[in-house]
Amino acid sequence: MARRKTELDGIRDGCPVKLIFKDDGKRKQWFEAPKDFPIDTLHFWEEAGVLRVHQDSADRHQKREMELAYPIASGSYPIGRSFCESKNLDLALLPMQPEANGYRIDDAPSGSIVTMPKDAYCLMAFGQWSPWAPKRATEQAREVKG
């Protein structure tokens, strides 16, 4: 299978990011890469047919996993937000369509403000964030390698 890589521009917490989708035939990944700003970013990946998500710390030395209450799904942000609020769960989301180019996600203690140029579908994870933990050396090396 041919490798695929797609990039979108976005803003996370006021900082420009690239949203990157990579598919090497073995593993699919959706993640944000900050442009010159240290911010926490999301990383979704598919492994053995199962979608997972974690958040990378701004210094890239820590991460926190989401304890999923439901399987990761795709859908529109307004529906995901309503579902999340009704269940009192945390929500992790990244756009997954080119129409979302120029998206903006601003996280705050009271919730997130999400702006999409169009009502593009997003990957959405519902659950509770675990505490921050140090990354293993192999994870840090893989990030540097890309």
pLDDT band, residue 142 (cuts 50/70/90) = low
Domain residue extents for the chain: 4-145
Residue 145: its pLDDT value, please? 52
Q: What is the largest distance, in Å, between two alpha-carbon atoms of the chain?
A: 43
pLDDT band, residue 30 (cuts 50/70/90) = very high
Q: Cβ(82)–Cβ(107) under 8 Å?
A: no
State how far the Cα of 90 lies from the Cα of 40, in Å rounded to an integer.
15
Q: What is the pTM of this model?
A: 0.87
pLDDT tens per residue across span 79-104: 888 898 899 999 999 999 989 999 99
Rounded to an integer, the average pLDDT of 24-39 is 91
Rounded to an integer, the average pLDDT of 69-77 is 93
State how far the Cα of 36 lies from the Cα of 137, in Å rounded to an integer.
23
